Amino acid sequence: GAGKSATLNSLIGHPVL
């Protein structure tokens, strides 16, 4: 779900499913 990888979310710019 969203927020699984907060660091990746910041770098990529979208919530990781």
pLDDT value for 7:
73
Determine phi and psi for 11, rounding to 5 degrees.
-75, -45
pLDDT value for 9:
65
- Backbone dihedral region for residue 15 (phi beyond 0: left; psi -120 to 50: alpha; all else: beta): beta
pLDDT tens for each residue of 1-17 = 555 666 766 767 666 65
Q: Which pTM does this prediction carry?
A: 0.08
